[in-house]
Amino acid sequence: MDTPATSVMLELVEEITKQNIEVIVRDHHDVKNPSRKREVEVHENAQKLREMADDAIISNREENPACSSLIKLGEFSDVDLIVADPDPDGLTAAMKAVGVSYDGMDNDAAVLDGPRSRQNGNNLSATAMLLVKGMSTLPRFNPRRPQFAADAKDQLFNQFANMVAGDSKTKASLEAKVEQYEKLVEAAYKVAETAEEVIPGFIQVDIRGKKFHMGTLIQGIEKPAGIKVTCMVKDSGPIAAHHDGTQLSLAVVRDCKDEINLQDCLPEGFESSPKAGIISNTSFLLHVSKEIFEKHVLPALKKILA
């Protein structure tokens, strides 16, 4: 669930189907009207996955912003194993698959899989806001101790699922994180003040070694007039683990998604993998190493935003 049809995914499905294991896919990473080479590749891979899997529904983000909307409540409560992307969209899809849900969860899931700047009380239910606040208190990924961050997220996701299923103790535990969340919001305002507009329309902020609420920071750096692309310099993430401890994460602001494709900033035939210094599954999000950013991304952005 919520796993793009990458070449690695195709290899995995090919291998496990050889072992007579039934594979069911529910995903929304296809491209509706592919025009660029990378989009065509994603679309072709999605079609290959449909043919390889026993049961595959692969939609796109326009028609299904959340993967949970592709699943009926309790539809997969009797399967042996559910593999889902470890983010709120994957979590809510897996929850719905086994019969755990609440009113408005599909709408919440769509917001949770979208821009962080929209993940607030105006767009999310009180239930989903507990997850958002809990996510902001999680430790950052440390390549020296990768399991620490993974275990913390695992615990939070289990607490959220158990709360939705009716466990009052886990609800109290999630509510206790609110005070910590509010401190992180205040910290985010201060980090936003350090952001720099590198070129007109492109703003960058160094968040290395800082703790704050991500959604609040994004709202802050998107606020100046004319900003079209944001960039965060991180000391965490899969690329940082392979490239001198630094990862740059770029995002197109919501109103410019149809105008700017960040994959146009990458070299022809690029490989999307942490080792290659590039992670790109959509046109509006991009994670790169410092080398790729300086050599390819920044020069291209200067032309695109000119």
Are 202 and 299 in the same domain? yes
Has residue 141 been placed in a domain? no
| Of residues 246 and 143, more confidently modeled | 246
Has residue 218 been placed in a domain? yes
Are 101 and 202 in the same domain? no
Has residue 123 been placed in a domain? no
Residue 140 class from Cβ within 10 Å (0-12 exposed, 13-18 middle, 19+ buried)? middle
Are 190 and 110 in the same domain? no
Identify the domain boundary among 114, 137, 164.
114
Residue pLDDT, tens place only, 182-219:
899 999 999 999 999 999 999 999 999 999 988 899 99
Are 98 and 189 in the same domain? no
Cβ–Cβ under 8 Å, residues 275 and 239? no
Identify the domain boundary among 64, 95, 114.
114
Residue pLDDT, tens place only, 214-268:
889 999 999 999 999 999 999 999 999 899 899 999 999 989 998 999 999 999 8
Calculate the average pLDDT of the chain.
Answer: 93
Mean pLDDT of 31-36: 89
Identify the domain boundary among 96, 114, 132.
114
Supply the pTM of this predicted model. 0.69
> Cα separation of 261 and 78, whole Å?
41
SS3 138: coil
For residue 106, give its domain range: 1-114
Total domains, the chain: 2
How sure is the predictor about 137, in pLDDT bands with cuts at 50, 70 and 90?
Answer: confident
Cβ–Cβ under 8 Å, residues 48 and 89? no
Has residue 174 been placed in a domain? no
Has residue 251 been placed in a domain? yes
Has residue 10 been placed in a domain? yes
> Cα separation of 42 and 60, whole Å?
11
Q: How far is CA 5 from CA 11, 59, 164, 279, in A?
A: 10, 11, 30, 14
The residue among 80, 114, 75 whose CA lies nearest residue 93 is 75
